[in-house]
Structure 1
Amino acid sequence: MTEPLFPARIVAIELAAEDILSFTLHPLDAALPDGIDPGSHIDVHLPNGMMRSYSLSNGYDQRLGFRLTVARDANSRGGSTYMHDKLRVGQIIDISKPRNNFKLAEDAAMSVFFAGGIGVTPFLPMIARLNQVGKPWRLYYCTRNEERAALVNEIRQLEADGVGQFISHYDDRDGLFDLKGTLAALSGDTHVYCCGPKGMLDAFRAGAQVSGLGSDRVHFEYFNADVESATEGGFVVVLNQSGAEIRINPGQTILQALTEHGVNVPFSCEEGICGACETRVIEGVPDHRDMILSDEEKRQSKTMMVCCSGSKSDRLVLDL
């Protein structure tokens, strides 16, 4: 089953930077929370049938609705272009409840954020929260040029209000950012976060691995999946709650097979980036293909995303 959707009205659309718009949505259903958990995102179901996940970019204004800050990307699958060209103030669209796969460790001695372009969006509510609890932070914000840097005035205000440091890096002016060197210079008790394009995230994960930072202090979020879903099949999924056994045939994902057999599993993106279908693993060895779980979480294999991941064992017992 797809996850429940809730109507929300677009109450403001503002220019945040060159080719970047901020959309403020007011939920019309009391079932949605008042306020947000820093790092959260929502799924937006557009009138043309597309579904896209966007981080909430609220700063201090966390009780004034949900704000999404979206860069127009002509090379994307079309969601951002549709939002820029078609959505209007007053329009009602369907959204999911906020979901958080990018949790803030607000008790960290030091928090350092690396943002690539529009990847800065989840960091505003995180920084606002750190200011509220009096914790230090540093933000490295990398964009092509100053014109493409969104929400800079808000970030500067957050810097003025807390124990933080905002460092902008414009490629056209400053050249290539030394991500590996910056990570290596951090103290071992620092929590580090990265959100941005795939190349930056891959470099961040590689740099963090050799920097001496523990895996529990390294946090990241991808824009979209770049790994193909597991459709090799040839194994059996056992539903622990009923004992039913479902064979996953070649060409199927686990989610597709479960749905065909009438098993209700919440899902949304079907790409392993939203977390809606996360399911507890009781027995077996998953073949993880998602972009959410950390390397350590994948080694532990306590949960998996059934929309895209498969099985390395002949039998997989799930808490369903």
Structure 2
Amino acid sequence: MSSVAQIPKSPALHEELTYDVSVSERHVVGEDIVSLTLRRDDGGLFPAWEPGSHIDVFLGEDEQGEPLTRQYSLWGAVEDRSAWRIGVLKDPASRGGSLRVHEQLIDGAKIRVRGARNHFHLEPAKSYVFVAGGIGITPILPMVRQAERDGIPWKLYYLARNRARLALLEELSGLPAEKLVLHCDDENGMIDLAGITSVLGEEDHVYACGPGPLLDVLDKMAQKSGRWTFHCERFAAAPVAPGRVDLPFEVLLSKSGTTHQIPAGVPCLKVLREAGVEVDWSCSEGVCGTCETEVLEGEPDHRDAVLTAEERAANETMMICVSRARSARIVLNL
């Protein structure tokens, strides 16, 4: 079956803890890519986490005075709870987060973090094919290590435009060489994804993280094949399909009994925050899952990059930062 498989829900945000941490190590691990090792200022251990998890990193405020929070995947060893390790690409299209990391988070810098949260679980499978593009290696690396520990067959294809963009090569060198393919477009052209996936069967799972076009191609291949299962984590929600119209809708908050009108083109999150409603949020782009809210009535118009196809069909929750409503009225558990 070609789909993103159903995954367990992460804990609610209020159950996650916030930590004061310091940057104990900073290394350049690729062109415009830094790795940061974070340790708690109180000397304590971080909570246990699973491959695919990410954390929130608080980076102060943006130019409009809004909290600047970004999400970064954990790439370190899951058994090492003394440190959290993240990798950050300096993105020229960044809204300020990655630039601030690269310019300000030097050795000894103090910041706050929250988590960990996981919307990208490694599900049981007969075998795995991992595809990482550029900085997308960060959530994939712990998955590869887990598969190797569990003795499950796997293959990793790590793709980049050139060798300078291949990150964490020292960490990757510890993996079995016959299971690892490093592919650079400038040396070998475009990789043959169709050939790689053509031999996969119903018990094979493909996990991918990287640029949107790469994930889009794999997603279409999975749907066309109808055999293997595809899982991915995106850096940004997919663009709204052409012709998809924003309609105004009404939101009823079940706990307060208040009603709010959401105009066309205005995010639900923005309206609720301006009305003083306390709601958890972070990325405002539909990728982190922080603002996931229970839907009691109505039909959401899902536009996030977090929920699976099955979860969208169930209509039990929605990401209020980007998603809207197909029905004229929606009731949220707020």
What TM-score results when the alignment is normalised by the length of structure 2? 0.85
2:322 pairs, out of 308, 312, 317, with 308
**Residue 243 of structure 1: CA displacement?**
4.1
Q: Does 1:252 align with 2:269?
A: no
Q: Does 1:41 align with 2:59?
A: no
Greater CA deviation, 59-68 or 185-194? 59-68
Judged with a 3 Å threshold, the aligned counterparts in structure 2 of structure 1 residues 234 and 148 are, in CA distance, closer, same or farther, namely: closer
**Residue 21 of structure 1: CA displacement?**
1.3
Q: Does 1:224 align with 2:236?
A: yes
> Cα RMSD over matched residues?
2.6
* Structure 1, unaligned runs of 5 or more: none
5 Å-filtered alignment, 1:1-320, equals: 5-28=18-41, 33-47=46-60, 49=62, 50-59=68-77, 62-105=80-123, 107-159=124-176, 165-213=179-227, 217-227=229-239, 232=246, 234-320=248-334
Greater CA deviation, 82-91 or 258-267? 258-267
Q: Percent identity?
A: 42
Greater CA deviation, 29-38 or 115-124? 29-38
* Structure 2, unaligned runs of 5 or more: 1-12, 63-67
Judged with a 3 Å threshold, the aligned counterparts in structure 2 of structure 1 residues 227 and 166 are, in CA distance, closer, same or farther, namely: same
**Residue 135 of structure 1: CA displacement?**
1.9
Q: Distance in 2 between matches of 1:19 and 1:251?
A: 35
**Residue 157 of structure 1: CA displacement?**
1.3
SS in 1 for 2:197: helix
1:231–1:253 Cα contact (<8 Å) kept: no
Q: Distance in 2 between matches of 1:59 and 1:201?
A: 25
1:156–1:166 Cα contact (<8 Å) kept: no
Judged with a 3 Å threshold, the aligned counterparts in structure 2 of structure 1 residues 167 and 262 are, in CA distance, closer, same or farther, namely: same
Render the CA deviation track for 1:6-43: whole Å, top value 9, x for unaligned: 32110000121232211011133689743322101112
Of structures 1 and 2, the one scoring higher in RCO (CA 8 A, sep 6+) is 2
2:45–2:81 Cα contact (<8 Å) kept: no
Q: Distance in 1 between matches of 2:328 and 2:183?
A: 49
Judged with a 3 Å threshold, the aligned counterparts in structure 2 of structure 1 residues 168 and 284 are, in CA distance, closer, same or farther, namely: same
2:45–2:83 Cα contact (<8 Å) kept: no
Q: Distance in 2 between matches of 1:96 and 1:169?
A: 34
The amino acid across from 2:331 in the alignment is V
Q: Distance in 2 between matches of 1:75 and 1:152?
A: 25
